[in-house]
Amino acid sequence: MRENLRELWRYRELLFAMVEREIRIRYKNSVLGFFWSLINPLVTMLVLWLVFKFFLRNSTENFTPNVLAAYLPFMFVQLAVLDSSQSVLVSLQVVKKVYFPREILPLAGVIANFVHYLLALVVFFLYMFVVWASTGFQDSPFTWRIAFLPILLIVTVSLTTGLALIVSALNVFYEDVKYAISILLYLLFFLTPVMYFSENVYYSIKNAGLPPVLYDIYHLNPLATLATTYKKVLVPPGPVDAGGGLGLVQPLPMNWGLFGVTFLVSVGLLAGGYALFNRLKWRFVERP
């Protein structure tokens, strides 16, 4: 492991050049170029508002920013994993002819998407600021919890990198891994509290008279815990529309226990994924 990390460090400039290339290629033949990354969150915001606030009349306070706070990182995980799943396979011709640390390929996919996520996050904060300004600067939407954002980003990136390493390595040998993973991520989107809230899950379980431990089991999905943590960190707490005749409920406090579990799972996935990738990487060129 140490040996591999040292080798990766020696090729760090290639990694950054690869990230730059990924970003450059994406916008190479487009008119709007880099603005695409800014337009996407803006349009998403508009559609979310239209659907949930206007059509469905959800009365949750700060609904749109809440959803967006979780939607953006989810999209980052999804795009980064899908992009990098193919990364080794599409570069196999290069991999067969030149030596360089192979993990650079999926890592570049993750980092390029992370850059886009950071840009989207800037748009998100601008939106929050504009809304705040339009109310004449009453009740600042920025709380002390934002200080927690860097740790949250680190956990998200290590989870994503771990997944990307595993998926990209396996996809070389089993080409349908990327289909399996794209279906899985699509379904996970609905099983993750992005468009709804952990509070919805909590009160639905309670109302149906089911054992409360189901709430914890649901949050063993690291993306579920992350989505809720992003909402609680980026948007000030307010009453949530629990639906089903329950009306508005008070928000649940941060669940540090669940976040701790997610933290451990993410770090474990990163270490395990890197180990797996390094075991398999010499066999990429020899795949039967």
Partner 1 sequence: MSTPAILIEDLHKEFIVSHSGAGSLKTALLWWKRRRLETLKVLNGLSFQVGQGECVALIGKNGAGKSTLLSLIARVYRPTSGRITVNGRTAPLLELGAGFHPDLTGLENILFNAMILGLSRKDALARTGEIVDFAELGGQIDAPVRTFSSGMLARLGFAIAVNVDADILIVDEVLAVGDFEFEEKCYRKIEEFRSVGHTILFVSHQMESVMRVADRCLLLEHGQVSMEGAPSDVIARYHESG
Q: What residues make contact with partner 1 under the rule CB under 8 A?
A: 13-14, 16-18, 21, 24-25, 28-29, 93-100, 173-177, 180, 282, 285-288
The CA–CA distances, whole Å, from 238 to 68, 84, 216 equal: 16, 37, 22
CB-nearer residue toward partner 1: 10 or 56: 10
Closest CB 30 distance from partner 1, rounded Å: 12
**Residue 26 contacts by C-beta under 8 Å, 6 or more apart in sequence?**
36, 112
In terms of DSSP bridges, do strands 240-241 and 248-249 run parallel, antiparallel, or are they unpaired?
antiparallel
CB-nearer residue toward partner 1: 6 or 24: 24
Closest CB 287 distance from partner 1, rounded Å: 7
Closest CB 288 distance from partner 1, rounded Å: 4
| Strand, coil or helix: 277 | helix
CB-nearer residue toward partner 1: 167 or 258: 167
Closest CB 114 distance from partner 1, rounded Å: 21
- Comparing CA positions, the residue from 107, 109, 108, 117 lying closest to residue 226 is 117
DSSP category for residue 247 = -
Closest CB 240 distance from partner 1, rounded Å: 40
CB-nearer residue toward partner 1: 95 or 223: 95
CB-nearer residue toward partner 1: 205 or 275: 275
How far apart are the C-alpha atoms of 238 and 227, rounded to whole Å? Answer: 16
**Residue 283 contacts by C-beta under 8 Å, 6 or more apart in sequence?**
173
Closest CB 167 distance from partner 1, rounded Å: 12
Closest CB 175 distance from partner 1, rounded Å: 5
- Comparing CA positions, the residue from 84, 256, 283 lying closest to residue 177 is 84
Q: How many residues does the chain have?
A: 288
CB-nearer residue toward partner 1: 102 or 231: 102
How far apart are the C-alpha atoms of 14 and 20, rounded to whole Å? Answer: 10
CB-nearer residue toward partner 1: 17 or 151: 17
Measured in Å, how far apart are the chain's first and last C-alpha atoms? 26
